[in-house]
C-alpha cells in the first residue's frame, strides 16, 4: 500500500535518557538518509539491510544536531507493514522536537494520533481488536489488566470472533446454496440441525458478554468504598494501604466530612479506594451531607469494606450500615483488636446475608492486613468479582457488538420456532455475522475507525 511518509515522537514528552522519533511510509528510509551520516562516513541507509541499527549523527544541513542510533525496518516486516525508521536520540524534549522538525522539513509530515497503528490495521498487519489492545497495553493499571491486554494483542479476542463468524458464514452459505439449487441440496431436517448450532453460538456469545463485567473491573479497577462509624479506623486503614498519610486521623469523631479517593495496586489488582465520612446520626449540616454522600457511593460500589471498632458495642448506626451492605460484596474488618473486645464475629453471623469474610485487624499495630489483602485476592479470583484465563471482553464497544449479535442469533431461534422460511434465517445470521465483524474491523465504517484511532496517543 503506497502512502505518504509520517513522523512523530514515539516516546513520552519528558526529559529522559532516550527519545525515539518514528518515521513510516514510502519515503521513510530516504527521508532519514537525507539527515543521517554514519559514524564510519560510508553507510547509507538507502542501501542498509532491513532490521539493522546504525550509529551516526543527525545533521541539519551542515550542523550536527545529535549523536544517534538509527533502526531500519523495511516493509512488510514492520509494525505498520511499511518502511519504518526509528531515530534513537538523547531524550530531552528540545532535542526530540528539533529532530522531528528536521525530519518534517525533509519530506515527512506530522503523524496524527494513532496513525502508525491505524496504518498497521489498514495494511492488514493487525485487526481492529488487536489495534485497540495496543492502547490497552499502554494504559494498563495492573498486572491482570496487562495480561489480558497482551492476550488480546496476540489475538485472543480476534481468534474467538473469527471462529464464531466462520461457523455462521458456513450456515449462511449452505442456506443460500440450497435456495439457489434445491434439486441438488436439500433443506429437509435442516431446521433441527441449525437450531442446535445456533444454541451453541448463543451460549458462546453469552459467555463473552458475561465476561465484560469482569473485564470492566480488570481494566478500570475495583471501585472500593470504606464505610463505618466515626473513629472506627477507616482513615487509618486508607493511610496504611496507600503507605502515607493521605487522610487526617484524630480522636475526634467526624473528622472525615467528604470523600477521599486513592488508587492502589494490590496483588496485581487495582483498587479505586474511597474513604467516606463516618455514618451516624448527626445535627451537623456539613457532616450530614458527607454521611448522605457516603451512603450513595456505597450503594454503587463493587466492594465495600466495613470497618468496625471492635472495642465499642454495636448500635443503631451499625445496624443502618448493615442494611446498606446487604447483597453487596463486603469485607467486615473488626478493627482495634489491640483493645478489649466488645464485638465478635458471632455478632455478625445472622446479620449479613452475603458475607464474604470477617477479619480481625489493628491498624495501629498493623495486624490482620495480610489476611485482609488475601481476602480481596480470593474474592477477585473465586468470588463474584471473578477472573479466569479464558477470553475476557474489556472493551465496551466489543460488548455492544456482541449484544447485537446475540439478539440477531436469538431472532433466528424465534424464526425456527415459528417455522419461518429459510431466507429469514439467512437474514438474521448475516446480521450477527456483521455485528461480530465490527469487533475486528471487517464491517466497520471509516468514521468509526477514525474515531477509535483519534483516541490513541501521538506517535503510536
For 121-134, write each residue's pLDDT tens digit: 999 999 999 999 88
What is the value of pTM for the model shown?
A: 0.74
Q: Which grid coordinates are listed for 245?
A: 498519610
Which alpha helices (DSSP H) does 73-155 contain, by range? 93-105, 115-122, 128-139, 143-153
Q: Which grid coordinates are listed for 269?
A: 489488582
pLDDT of residue 354: 59
pLDDT grade for 243, boundaries at 50, 70 and 90: low
Residue 268 and residue 145 in contact, taking contact as beta carbons nearer than 8 Å: no
Show Cβ contacts of residue 389 under 8 Å, excluding neighbours closer than 6 positions.
Answer: none
Which alpha helices (DSSP H) does 154-248 contain, by range? 156-180, 190-220, 234-242
d(CA 27, CA 4): 7
* β-bridge pairing 222-228 and 269-275: parallel
* β-bridge pairing 303-309 and 330-335: parallel
Show Cβ contacts of residue 153 under 8 Å, excluding neighbours closer than 6 positions.
Answer: 130, 133, 134, 136, 137
d(CA 56, CA 68): 6
* Of the candidates 87, 386, 24, the residue with the CA atom closest to the CA atom of residue 213: 386
List phi, psi (to 5°) of 313.
-60, 150
pLDDT of residue 210: 87
* β-bridge pairing 6-9 and 16-24: antiparallel
**Count of CB atoms within 10 A of residue 15's CB?**
13
Inter-axis angle of helices 190-220 and 143-153, to 10 degrees? 140
- Beta bridge pairs of residue 63: 60
**Domains parsed from the chain with CATH numbers:** 6-127 (3.30.1360.120), 131-217+393-441 (1.20.120.430), 222-301+303-382 (3.40.50.300)
For the chain, the residue count is 460
Would you call 268 exposed, middle or buried from its count of C-beta atoms within 10 A (0-12, 13-18, 19+)? Answer: middle
d(CA 351, CA 353): 7
Residue range 389-435, pLDDT digits in tens: 578 888 899 999 999 999 999 999 999 999 998 889 999 999 999 99
Mean pLDDT of 56-70: 96
Following CA atoms 172, 176, 179, 185 in sequence, which dihedral angle do they give, to the nearest 10 degrees?
A: -80
Residue range 204-240, pLDDT digits in tens: 999 999 888 777 777 777 888 888 887 777 777 777 7
DSSP assignment letter at 220? H
69 to 43, 189, 374: CA distances (angstroms) = 13, 67, 47
| pLDDT over 80 (residue 241) | no
Q: Which grid coordinates are listed for 417?
A: 420456532
Amino acid at each position: 500500500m503506497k502512502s505518504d511518509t509520517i513522523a512523530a515522537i514515539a516516546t513520552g514528552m519528558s526529559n529522559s535518557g532516550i527519545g525515539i522519533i518514528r518515521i513510516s511510509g514510502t519515503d521513510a528510509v530516504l527521508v532519514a538518509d537525507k539527515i543521517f551520516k554514519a559514524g564510519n562516513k560510508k553507510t547509507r541507509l538507502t542501501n542498509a539491510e532491513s532490521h539493522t541499527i546504525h550509529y551516526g549523527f543527525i545533521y541539519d544541513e551542515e550542523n550536527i544536531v545529535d549523536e544517534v542510533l538509527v533502526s531500519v525496518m523495511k516493509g512488510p516486516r514492520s509494525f505498520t507493514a511499511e518502511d519504518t525508521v526509528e531515530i534513537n536520540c538523547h531524550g530531552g524534549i528540545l532535542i526530540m522536537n528539533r529532530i522531528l522538525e528536521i525530519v518534517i522539513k525533509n519530506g515527512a509530515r506530522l503523524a496524527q494520533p494513532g496513525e502508525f497503528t491505524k496504518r498497521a490495521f489498514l495494511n492488514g498487519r493487525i485487526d481492529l481488536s488487536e489495534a485497540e489492545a495496543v492502547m490497552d497495553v499502554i494504559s494498563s493499571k495492573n498486572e491482570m489488566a496487562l495480561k489480558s491486554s497482551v492476550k488480546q494483542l496476540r489475538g485472543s479476542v480476534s481468534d474467538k470472533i473469527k471462529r464464531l463468524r466462520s461457523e455462521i458464514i458456513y450456515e449462511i452459505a449452505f442456506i443460500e446454496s440450497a435456495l439457489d439449487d434445491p434439486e441438488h441440496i436439500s433443506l429437509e431436517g435442516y431446521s433441527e440441525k441449525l437450531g442446535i448450532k445456533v444454541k451453541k453460538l448463543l451460549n458462546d456469545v453469552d459467555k463473552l458478554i458475561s465476561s465484560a463485567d469482569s473485564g470492566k473491573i480488570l481494566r478500570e479497577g475495583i471501585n472500593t468504598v470504606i464505610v463505618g462509624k466515626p473513629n472506627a479506623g477507616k482513615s487509618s486503614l486508607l493511610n496504611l494501604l496507600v503507605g502515607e498519610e493521605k487522610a487526617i486521623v484524630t480522636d475526634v469523631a467526624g473528622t472525615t466530612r467528604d470523600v477521599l479517593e486513592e488508587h492502589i495496586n494490590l496483588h496485581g489488582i487495582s483498587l479505586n479506594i474511597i474513604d467516606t465520612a463516618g455514618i451516624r446520626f448527626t445535627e451537623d449540616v456539613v457532616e450530614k451531607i458527607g454521611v448522605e454522600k457516603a451512603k450513595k457511593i456505597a450503594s454503587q460500589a463493587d466492594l465495600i469494606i466495613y470497618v468496625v471498632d471492635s472495642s465499642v458495642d454495636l448500635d443503631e448506626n451499625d445496624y443502618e450500615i448493615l442494611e446498606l451492605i446487604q447483597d453487596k460484596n463486603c469485607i467486615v474488618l473488626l478493627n482495634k483488636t489491640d483493645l478489649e473486645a466488645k464485638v465478635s464475629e458471632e455478632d455478625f453471623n445472622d446479620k449479613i446475608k452475603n458475607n464474604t469474610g470477617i477479619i480481625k485487624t489493628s491498624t495501629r499495630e498493623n495486624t490482620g492486613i495480610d489476611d485482609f489483602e488475601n481476602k480481596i485476592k480470593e474474592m477477585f479470583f473465586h468470588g463474584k468479582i471473578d477472573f479466569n484465563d479464558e477470553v475476557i471482553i474489556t472493551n465496551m464497544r466489543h460488548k455492544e457488538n456482541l449484544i447485537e449479535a446475540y439478539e440477531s442469533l436469538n431472532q433466528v431461534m424465534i424464526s425456527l420456532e415459528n417455522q419461518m422460511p429459510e431466507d429469514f434465517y439467512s437474514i438474521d445470521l448475516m446480521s450477527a455475522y456483521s455485528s461480530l465483524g465490527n469487533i475486528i474491523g471487517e464491517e466497520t465504517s471509516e468514521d468509526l475507525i477514525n474515531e477509535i484511532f483519534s483516541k490513541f496517543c501521538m506517535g503510536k
